[in-house]
Each structure stands twice: as C-alpha cells, then as structure tokens.
Amino acid sequence: MTSTLTRVLAVLLPAAAVISNSALAQDPIPPPEALEGAFKSQKHFSPYAGRNFPTHVYWGDTHLHTAMSMDAGAFGNRLGLDDAYRFARGEEVTAATGQRVKLGRPLDFLVVADHSDNMGFFPNLFAGKPEILADPTGKRWYEMIQAGGQQAVGAALEIIDAASKGTFPQSLYYAPGSAPYRSAWEETIEAAEKYNEPGEFTAFIGYEWTSLVPPGNNLHRVVVYRDGGDKAVRTEPFTMFRPAGSTNPEDLWTVLQAYEDKTGGRLLAIPHNGNLSNGMMFPLVNPVTNRQLTREYAETRIRWEPLYEATQIKGDGEAHPYLSPTDEFADYETWDKGNLNLSELKTREMLQYEYARTALQLGLQVEQQVGVNPYKFGMIGSTDSHTSLATAEEENFFGKHSGTEPDAMRWEHPVLALGDVTILGWEQVSSGYAAVWATENTREAIFDAMMRRETYATTGPRMLVRFFGGWEFTADDAELRMPGGVGYSKGVPMGGDLPVRSGNGAPTFLVGALKDPFSGNLDRIQIVKGWLDGRGQRHEKVYDVAWSDAGRRQPGPDGTLPPVGNTVDVANATWTNTIGAPELLTVWTDPDFDASQPAVYYARVIEIPTPRWTAYDALRFGITMDPEVQMTTQERAYTSPIWYTP
Amino acid sequence: MRPLIVLSTLGALLALGASPALAQDPIPPVESLQDAFKAQKHYSPYAGRNFPTHVYWGDTHLHTGLSMDAGAFGARLTPEDAYRFARGEELTSSTGQQVKLGRPLDFLVVADHSDNMGFFPRLYSGDQDMLADPTGRRWYEMIQAGGQQGVQVAVEVIQAFSDNTFPEALASLPGTPAYRDAWEEMIDAADEYNDPGEFTAFIGYEWTSNTRGANLHRVVIFRDDGTKASAVLPFTTLKPLGSDNPRDLWEQMQAYEDKTGGQILALAHNGNLSNGIMFPMLDTFTGMAFDRDYAETRAKWEPLYEVTQIKGDGEAHPYLSPNDEFADYENWDQGNLDLSEAKENDMLQYEYARSGLQIGLQLERQLGVNPYKFGMIGSTDSHTGLATAEEENFFGKHSGTEPSPERYKHPMAQLGDKKYESWDMVSSGYAAVWATENTREAIFDAMMRRETYATTGPRMLVRFFGGWEFTEADAELRMPGGVGYNKGVPMGGDLPVRSGNGAPTFLVAALKDPFSGNLDRIQIVKGWLDGRGERHEKVYDVACSDGRSIRDDRCERPVGNTVDVANATWTNTIGAPEFVRVWTDPDFDASQPAVYYARVIEIPTPRWTAYEAARFGITMPDGVPMVTQERAYTSPIWYTP
C-alpha cells in the first residue's frame, strides 16, 4: 500500500513541481509522507460498505390503466387512481367485478398511464355530470349505463366505436385545453403526489399517448415524468386526435422537448410492445416522409426513448419464431394475428420491424447509415392492465380489462375479435414487470436508471439478474458470489456500451441470476447476440452460457442443450422445484467475435416449467379448457443489452 | 348448497329462540339472507388472509457503548448508531471501519446492561462528577493517554465491578440523575427510530444476573413507548436496589405493568454459561422444590429463549444427544461466563433448549404448569453496537474483536489459563417473527404467542404447523400458511384436543435464504416423557435434498460439501431451495406428554473464519473451523395428554 502510494505521488509530484510556478499551483506541496494518512484504504472488510453502485432491484409496472382511461371505463373498470396505487403498494382492494384482490408481494413503483385522449371521460359519464347530460348523446349513454346489463354494454361499444372512428361528439370529447380535461390531469397528478413516498414507494406521474395509425397500428408510448406536480401541471398530456394531437411519434418528441424547455423538467417515453404495430414500431423508412430515417430522427428517438416494453399482457415481444427459427424458446406467448384492432392481418414481412431482437439489429444498420442508433433501447416488462390492478402473477392474474377478471368463462371469451379473427381470453399473458437497478426508491433514482437503461424485463417473476460486459472478466469473477462489485469495477452494466477495446481479445460478460424465491427454479441463462456482417447484413445467435442440472445434461453434438424437464401437476396447478437451479453465475467470452463488426448482446434467463394462469383458473373453477389452451409456461427475464461498436 | 343447510339450521335455532328476550328483530326469510353471506374464498390467493404472512427479522440483544463492559472494551457507538445500522445505514465502527449490513433488519432491541448503564460514555467524555473523584480522575487521565493505559482502565473497571469495589461516587445507579439520563437516552433513541410499518425499535435493557459467573441474564422488552417506559427504571442486580434472583425481576415486571398498564416480557440469555441453573429442577436460590407459582410466573414473563448467539449455540449438546450428529454445533461448554467454574457434564441438561423443554414437561407433571414452555429466537449479544450475524460480515463480540488480521490470535475472554478463543465466536444469530405487521405491538404479540424461530444468521423462511388432520396433499399446494392455520396451530402453539385415534400430523416448510446456502434437510425433534416420567428425545429427518431417501429416520447420506475454503466461497449445486412436507409421528403414545420442534439445516458454507483468512491472507491454526452448516430452530408445538 505504502509503496503504491509513494509511486503514485512520485509521479504526481514532479508534474506538480513543473507547474508549480504557473497559476495552477494552489498551495505549497507537502512531503509525500505527510499525505499518507489522507489516503486510507478504501477496501472495507464489510463487503456491503462503501458500495456506490446500485445494489437493489426495484420492481414496478410502467403501464397501468385506471377507470380514467376511456376504454378501461367502458369495459367496466370503476377503480380509480387511489385504488391503483394502494393495490400496487400491497393493500387489498375490491376489483371492479367485486372480488377481493391483493398482490403476493408489493411493487416498489408504479406509473399510472391512462390514455391521454378522452382522459377522465368515463368516470364523469358514470357519475352523470351535468355537462355530459346536457348533450343528447351523453344523456342517452348515461341512461343506457344506468339501465345496466346489455344496454350498458351497448353504450360502451358505441363509445369505443365513436372514438376509433372519429365520430365522438365534439361537445363530449375531453380534449386538452378543456376544463374537464384539465381537471382529469390534475387529479392524475395529485394522486401520484399523494402516494409518492421517497424511499418506500415511487408513484410516477405519467400518461399514455395512444397513437393508432390507421387502420389500427399500435404506436402507443407511455410518457413518464421524473418531476413532481409543480412541473407536470404546467403542460397537459399530448393526444393523438387532431388538431391538438398527432399520431406521429416525432410530434410527441417535439412536445416532450417543449415541456423540458418550459419547465426544466425531465421526461422519457416508452414504446408499447410493437407486436401490434404491423411493422411500424422499428421502421427503416419513416412512414411519415416515406424516406430513409435521418440522423435527426435517430438522435431524437434515442434521446426520448431509452426503454422498450418487451413483454405485456397482449403478447411477448422479445423474439418471433419466424425470425428466429433455431431458437426453441422464441415462440413464447406470441400474438401475431394482426394489428391492435385486427383490422389488418399480420404479414411475415412486418415481423422484423416489431420484435425487440431484430429491432436491436436494425438499430445497428441505421447507425451504419446515419451515425446514430435510434433503437438503442433497454428492456422492461409491464402489464398494460386496464383493471387498475398491476397483476402479473400467474396464480393471481386479473386479466387485461374488467371484462376478463377471473370467472369460469374468461378463458373462452374473445379479448379481441374482428370478423372471424379472434384472440381468446386464454391467450392473455400474465406479464410482466419492470426491474430497475437503482440506488434508492425515488422518482429521481429510478428515472435516472431508466435513462441509463439499467433495467430488465420479466414476465412476472422477480428473479435478480446481473449482466456486465468488459474485456477482462475471468472465470474467477464468477466464483465470488458477489457479481456487483467486480462487475462495475471491471465492466459496464446492462444498458451500457463496452469500453474501448484493449488488447486483442473478445468481449467477456459476467452474468448472474438468482431465482425468485417464490417462483420456479432456473433452467438456464442464455446470451443473445445480434450483429452485422461486413456487408451490413443482420445476424443473430443464442448461446446457452449457464444451466442447471449439469450433472445430467450437457449440450449434444449439435450444441443443443436438452430440456430441463417438467414437474408441473396441471390438475393441481402446482410443481416442485426439484429440477433447475436456485442460482446461476458465470463468465462468458464471445467465441465468434469479429472486432470489425458491430454487435449487441443481452441475457435471457429461463425458468423451469410452472403452471400458467390458465391452470390456476381451471383448478379453481373446476373447468376443463380446450386442448389447445396452454397450461404451463417457462417464465423469463430479458436484460437490457450491452453494445459493441467497432 | 352447503350455505343453505347452514342457514336452515340457523333459521331453526333462531325460530326456537324467537319468543324469548334473545330475539332482537323479526327474522327475515332465509332466501333474503343469502346475499349477505358471499363466499369468502377469494380467487386472489393473497386476499382475505388474516394470519401472519411475513417474517420480520431482528436482533433482540444488542449492546452499545452505554453498557459498561462494551464501553470498557472500546465500543463508542450509541443506541442511535445501533438503530441506524440495523435499519440498513452504513456507519463507522468503533475501530474506524466502514460497515453496513447486507440486508437491513426489521426490528432491534437495544439491550444495554442495566447495572452501571451509561457509565463509560460519562467517563470517556470527562464528566465533571467523574473528575471530582480521585479514581475517576485517574481513570480519565489513563484513557486520555490511550494505548495500554486505556486497556488498563477497562481491566480495572470490570474488575472493580465484579469484585464489588466499584467507587460509589462513580457508579451509575438507579435513582441518580446520571442513570436517569442514560435510560432516557435509550428511550429517546428507540422512540425516534421506531417507524411503524417500516422499522420497529423496541425499548429494552438487559438484567445481568451473574452471581459467581453463572449467567442468568434476561433481556427485558417493552411493548410500550417512552411515555410508559420512562415511568420506571431498569431493574439491576446490585443490592440493595437490585437482585440476582429472577423472581425479583418478575416482581418488578409485574409492578411495571400494574403501574403503567403497559406490557413487558423477558427472554433468557443462552443458558450455556449458567453452569446448570438456567432450567433447574430445584430453585437454585433456596434449594427447595419449585411451587406452582414459580412455574406460572416464569411462563407468564418468559415466552421466549435465546437459543443461539455469539457466545455459543444452545439448542443441543452432544453429551445429551449422542445420536444427533448435528448436536455438536458451535458449543461453548468450558465453564460459566467468566470461566471461574469449569463445566461438569451433569450441568448440561439444565442449560440446553432441548433438555430444557423436556424438564418443563417433568415440572408440569409435578406442578400442573410448565415453566419452560418457551419459543425460540436467536440474537447476537454483540457489544459493538452492530447487529452482525452474517458470516461474510461479522464484526465480533466486542470492539476488541472487530475484524483484523490479529483477532483470531487474541482470546475473546480469558481468566488465568482458561480462555475463549476469538475464533470460537459464533456469527449468530437472528430472531424471526411471524407477525401481521412491523410494529411494536404486532411483533411483541407474536413473541408472546411464541410464533417465532431462531436462526444462526441466514434468513430462511420456516413454517411449522401441528394438527390432527394434515395430509400429504396439504404439502403440494406450495402455500403452507393457508392450510396450516386452517387445520392446525402454528409454531409456539398447543396441539388442539385430540380428535379420533390418530397420531399428530405436522406441516413443515422451509424456503432457503436466497443469498445463503441451499437446504440440506428438515428435521423434527421430539421430546417426551415415558410412563415413569423419564425424559426421552428423538430426531426425525422429514425432508432431504438431492433425492436422498430417509432410512432409519435419517437422510441416507450427508449432503456433501462444495465449500472452497481458500476462496471463502461455495456453490449451491447441492441441497434444495425449498421443502414442504407433512409428517406424522410414527411413535406417538397418546398417554405421554410431548414437545416437537423443527430444525432446518443448510448445506455447508464458509464460516466467518474462512472469510477472515481469505481477506487478510492469513493461515489460522489447525482446528479452527472454517465451514459451518447454518440452521433454524422453530418454536415448539406441545402435546398434553
């Protein structure tokens, strides 16, 4: 220690001496011996002291709707903002269908993201506010809802239909600038302020901008505020209906910039899972200008959109089997029949512009063309639940909207239908949550972690996942059982860029996963690599890097790791954690690295099979579902990527 | 359908009672009542649960610089520091090292010694009253000089106190303003850091009965806040104000409750240093047989027992349990607290929890009441202000044994040629409490009903229920709480009156600490009395990891060992992450009183000494244990014929 210090000072001192005559000198320089006491060793015996990196994952839902959302209200949700926050922080509430419900474990944060268009309309219609009854259509809808039953359903359908066709009565439409809209937004802000409790529970102010490009392509974005109500109240949410709104994300970004310019606040936007965008979520050609993406587009998009919602109730969006035919885990809870309202069917060509894995590679391609990667996003999962209930637990799933809360029939009723194309209730995914490595549970710390993409997505379980990239990780680093310290010291965490290459080696990754104590054991950790070859063509490969039960399974000649097995007892909706591992931790070096090729790496953690929510439904309601209904699942986590740029 | 039948019955009963004064209002038709009884079976498995669903972790036995001995050994941390550390903050230890818990605790009892409480901080700060006394001035000047002179003060202070030659003018005695100040400081710190729902700071102290070195210490815990606790002063041992007899402590506790309407409990320090008087058959202070009053009073005030702590583990002893291969775990059995009297084998049965529970059954036969009907908790008894029981983060018994390359060489305590080696210290333990919320009231009430367990540091979740109707299927649902409370009693309880001719059934479950070792096995330990009143015990393995079957009540082979001592690490590639089992006592005799508790054993992991050796690059002598198998002990469930 002493000698090191002396050497450091010896180097330092001549330099200081050289400049001591100049204006940079501040005071006479003491002898090195006199300084040693000022540099106590910072290597603490207590392994938990002096850690300045994030040591805790905070769990949340960035995408939850309450009755303030027009569609949620129309589908029967009567639970407001208070219920949403109370439920998320662990309290028991009564769902819209009258059932008592409580989370198995509280969340640490929540973004209530009600649709900005017509925000707050339905609670006022339901309450029969005088200004609504003054309009003949409003009065008629109110009376239908008062009558209940089929009449109320009819009113809901009329309302949704009018909104999507643009025939919603102007006098009833809750548009920015109007008094009822202002009141709805203030109510949203006040609820977040009321439940935000720094250090204990974070309630973000937010909303969903609900761009639906005709005929129904989903380009929604959740807007999240770092700020408190004093700033957020100074503007109103951006909407999609003209003239105030737009369906073009570039217009949203302009509005986000205007907010920051006006208030000095901070915002970010998270795109909704792109699986219902019909090829529009990650384009190479800007659909507005019909030209290649520009550098300005790329810079602006990545300025505002650091994260992507890779999994939610309406499907998982990490990978698609058509795009990744050799990935046996790619076909996971895939929704690929069409766009959001099924008005346009899916074609295969669309898929590459919708799924996270290809989008990351498209981003590399755009970067080659314009110098900036617009799709340099991290991963989060969220529910997009419209019930005010952020449920992503298989044994406690309350569905997409209040019409799909637990009952004996929900599995067979369509959640989406147009003509003969339907998506049935059982296809809903009990997913997902956002995991954020942050230094504390505050709006500021969680938002900042989101901006640096130090996040991962899960389909519901709360496994802890670490993922670091660098050039110097060695097998030893995985033996110490504390990946955080060595990870930050020798590399960059998930969401980061590999440091400039030193030496001639390939990049090394330290990856660790600790099972959710209450969920399934771990099957394996995989690293998914995407890259461009010398001709700029996209490629991908999935590597199994750590797996359970290594005593009885090793990759075969073709490199394929045998399945972990299955202990699920579907009839009793249970399983045993007698296969799989409680934890996996390893160092992996890319065996196929080419220093001239840009690449992107992320980790995927797969659990052993466990009962899907449908199995719990079948058991609890004593029903038999169709043979096609999936009854088991392999839950998973997707980390934010780490990028390599030549 | 079933509710209808119930209502019909109810309706009939009501109809019968309709004419007398019991009728309140006309009875509505049965049909109109059905909506009033909605099903309480919720879809959401987490809704409507009125039982404890959460374990709160704490240390019930922590000393700060306010304890005379802790201060003398160099502890400079205050009760405020202790609470800050326990709730997860980083601070600087008395030896200048930065330290932080891996995970915060949920609750803490600062239990400073009541005798001479607050003495050392006053001496250290040069209190004017201290300096007015010649000995006080001399001690102060020696402390100012530091080094060996400071150490000499510590020795003199402790010596003077134990020889009863402590200068009266310097003593911090109940009734003096200095003592009142120390007590107020403790109360104020607890009230400041108590944060209902987030962190519970209990007011407490340790009554330190230690006659001839026989450790009968009790930690006293208040359910109440400072408005009540400040109405009394802690009970001490020095006569004439105090006493070394637990009966006098209980009397004081009763007086407190009578005076304030508050609630208070005492829990006994690990009995392994009591030299045979923690769980006696005869009254140690009179030599006479106990009366029923003794049993009732002890059971009333002492629902819990500190079964594991830094100065040794007190669950079982290999001399008493020669067939239990896990009994020889971190035992301290050389003598009493100050090593002034060596241990005799005959003392052991009156010191260890397992035999203590059986002696309780024997006394119950004599007296009609079981004085030793206690639940289990672990705690540190650390004298550093730091509630550390993590192997990788162990700050030792007192500030002289905080981490350093030298600490393993220096005895932790010494008398003549007898000593406790520092490497004998146990990085143990914590108290686990199944409570409905994190408040003084809820945790205290759970302690009173003994719904607690002890661990040697790790935070495994353990459920243990007893009843007459548990079946294999109950273990399959992965949610033992619901069925456990529904069909049985939780840890700490009495089996309900026997129905039918069967043997008792137990639902037992353990979920590994995510950051610690996997689980090796769950055992159920049974103690009972035969027809002649003789004590017996048996250990049954009820769950084994890695597919091992159970032969002769044991997992068929040891779980193995993955510990890499040189690097102080291991792999969780053996063992299990969880167990849930239903077990039926195969040797049940309905005529014999019995007591059952569960012991959960982890796979081998590095002991704190291994971390010490790796971090400081030192080689410790042969014989220093480097590997441990951490464990949990649940509160028992009793069967009374």
> Model confidence over A84-115: pLDDT tens digits?
999 999 999 999 999 999 999 999 999 999 99
At residue A222, the pLDDT reads 98
Identify whether the C-beta of residue B542 lies closer than 8 Å to the C-beta of residue B583.
Answer: yes
Residue type, B476: E
At residue B329, the pLDDT reads 98
Taking the C-alpha atoms of residue B477 and residue B568, their distance in angstroms, rounded to an integer, is 37
At residue B169, the pLDDT reads 87
At residue A12, the pLDDT reads 45
Rg from Cα positions in chain A: 26
At residue B176, the pLDDT reads 93
Place of tokens 């949700």: A77
At residue B151, the pLDDT reads 83
Query: A234-284: per-residue pLDDT in tens?
Result: 999 999 988 889 999 999 999 999 999 999 999 999 999 999 999 999 999
User: Are the Cβ atoms of A572 and B476 closer than 8 angstroms?
Assistant: yes
- Terminal CA-CA length for chain B: 38
| H or E stretch at A434 | strand A433-438
DSSP string, B239-283: TTT--S-HHHHHHHHHHHHHHHS--EEEEE--GGGSSS-SS-SB-
User: Are the Cβ atoms of B42 and A99 closer than 8 angstroms?
Assistant: yes
Per-residue pLDDT for A21 more than 60? Answer: no
At residue B146, the pLDDT reads 83
| Closest approach of B581 to chain A, Cα-based (Å) | 12
Taking the C-alpha atoms of residue A320 and residue A303, their distance in angstroms, rounded to an integer, is 27
| Closest approach of B226 to chain A, Cα-based (Å) | 26
Residue of A nearest to B576 (CA): A578
Whole-number mean pLDDT of chain A? 93
Residues of A in contact with B393 (CB under 8 A): 46-48
At residue B41, the pLDDT reads 82
Q: For chain B, percent helix, then strand, then coil, each to nearest 5?
A: 30, 25, 50
Average pLDDT over residues A631-646: 98
User: Are the Cβ atoms of A521 and B101 closer than 8 angstroms?
Assistant: no
- In chain A, positions 475-494, which contact chain B (CB-CB < 8 Å)? 479-481
Average pLDDT over residues A171-175: 90
A498: helix, strand or coil: coil
Place of tokens 């766009």: A339
Confidence band for A27, pLDDT divided at 50, 70 and 90: confident
Rounded (5°) CA angle A320-A326-A328: 70
Q: Does A46 touch chain B (CB under 8 A)?
A: yes
| Closest approach of B331 to chain A, Cα-based (Å) | 26
User: Are the Cβ atoms of A44 and B97 closer than 8 angstroms?
Assistant: yes
At residue A393, the pLDDT reads 98
Confidence band for A170, pLDDT divided at 50, 70 and 90: confident
At residue B7, the pLDDT reads 42
**Is the N-terminal amide bond of B429 cis, ω within 30° of 0?**
yes
Query: Which one of B42, B44, B90, B571 would you mutate to disrupt binding with A, by most A Cβ within 10 Å of its Cβ?
Result: B44
Query: B294-341: per-residue pLDDT in tens?
Result: 999 999 999 999 999 999 999 999 999 999 999 999 999 999 998 999
Q: Does A539 touch chain B (CB under 8 A)?
A: no
Taking the C-alpha atoms of residue B86 and residue B104, their distance in angstroms, rounded to an integer, is 6
Among the listed residues B444, B431, B373, B445, the one whose alpha carbon sits nearest the alpha carbon of residue B636: B373
Provide the total of helices (H) and of strands (E) in chain B, helices listed first: 16, 28
Among the listed residues A183, A210, A197, A219, the one whose alpha carbon sits nearest the alpha carbon of residue A114: A210
Identify whether the C-beta of residue B550 lies closer than 8 Å to the C-beta of residue B541.
Answer: yes
| A348 burial via Cβ count (<10 Å: 0-12, 13-18, 19+) | exposed
Query: B205-261: per-residue pLDDT in tens?
Result: 999 999 888 999 999 999 999 999 999 999 999 888 999 999 999 999 999 999 999
At residue A547, the pLDDT reads 98
At residue B155, the pLDDT reads 83
Residue of B44, B515, B567 lying closest to A479 (CB–CB): B567
Average pLDDT over residues A180-193: 97
Among the listed residues B167, B130, B223, B166, the one whose alpha carbon sits nearest the alpha carbon of residue B448: B223
User: Are the Cβ atoms of B100 and A398 closer than 8 angstroms?
Assistant: no
Taking the C-alpha atoms of residue B227 and residue B181, their distance in angstroms, rounded to an integer, is 15
List residues bridging with A271 in a β-sheet.
A221
Residue type, A121: F
* CA A514 to the chain's CA centroid: 20
Query: A557-605: per-residue pLDDT in tens?
Result: 988 999 999 999 999 999 999 999 999 999 999 999 999 999 999 999 9
Taking the C-alpha atoms of residue B483 and residue A112, their distance in angstroms, rounded to an integer, is 36
Above pLDDT 90, what percent of chain A? 85
Confidence band for A1, pLDDT divided at 50, 70 and 90: very low
Whole-number mean pLDDT of chain B? 93
Half-sphere exposure of A226 (CA within 13 A, CB side): 18
At residue A19, the pLDDT reads 44
Residues of B in contact with A477 (CB under 8 A): none
Per-residue pLDDT for A8 more than 70? Answer: no
Place of tokens 């404890």: B52
Alpha-helical (H) ranges within A333-397 are 348-351, 356-370
Identify whether the C-beta of residue A318 lies closer than 8 Å to the C-beta of residue A378.
Answer: no
At residue B35, the pLDDT reads 65
Taking the C-alpha atoms of residue A59 and residue A455, their distance in angstroms, rounded to an integer, is 10
At residue B154, the pLDDT reads 85
Low-confidence ranges of chain B (pLDDT < 70): 1-23, 31-40
Query: A315-372: per-residue pLDDT in tens?
Result: 999 999 999 999 999 999 999 999 998 999 999 999 999 999 999 999 999 999 999 9
Alpha-helical (H) ranges within A271-317 are 295-304
